[in-house]
Amino acid sequence: EIVMTQSPATLSVSPGERATLSCRASQSVSSNLAWYQQKPGQAPRLLMYRASTRATGIPARFSGSGSGTEFTLTISGLQSEDFAVYFCQQYNNWPPYTFGQGTKLEIK
């Protein structure tokens, strides 16, 4: 099973600034990596897949990069609605599909 590790667990950033979230895989997942956003009491929402492809309707301030074992989600010009928990997920080696433990992005 591939273990996904996200860092940091909590990230405090001011509105308007840039946030950088990291995700590491225990072995290569190629570019088969997705990012999700989850707000309290809501279902996860797909942000990014194939490491760097934005899902439908996702604003351009969200960008993803990486391949192999190291991945980054960058959110530029943070807006109030961006403060949430973010999960990465690999879909290269399955079953099981595996998620990171999440990074909580909070307002500084």
Nearer to other proteins, 13 or 46 (CB): 46
Instruction: Report, in Å, the least distance between residue 9 CB and other proteins.
Output: 11
Hey, what are 24's tokens?
């590491």
Number of residues that bind other proteins (CB under 8 A): 23
CB of 10 to other proteins, least distance (A): 14
Residue type present at position 49:
Y
Q: Output the six-digit token pair for 76.
A: 């530029």
Residues 4-63 that bind other proteins (CB under 8 A): 32, 34, 36, 42-46, 49, 55-56
* Among 10, 94, 106, 107, interactor with other proteins by CB under 8 A: 94
- Does position 98 interact with other proteins (CB under 8 A)? The reply is yes
Q: Cβ 41 to other proteins, closest distance in Å?
A: 9
* Pairing verdict, β 103-107 and 10-13: parallel
Q: Which residues pair with 45 in a beta bridge?
A: 37
DSSP string, 60-74: TTEEEEEETTEEEEE
Q: How far is CA 25 from CA 49, 65, 84, in A?
A: 15, 14, 22
Q: Which residues bind other proteins (CB under 8 A)?
A: 32, 34, 36, 42-46, 49, 55-56, 87, 89, 91, 94-102
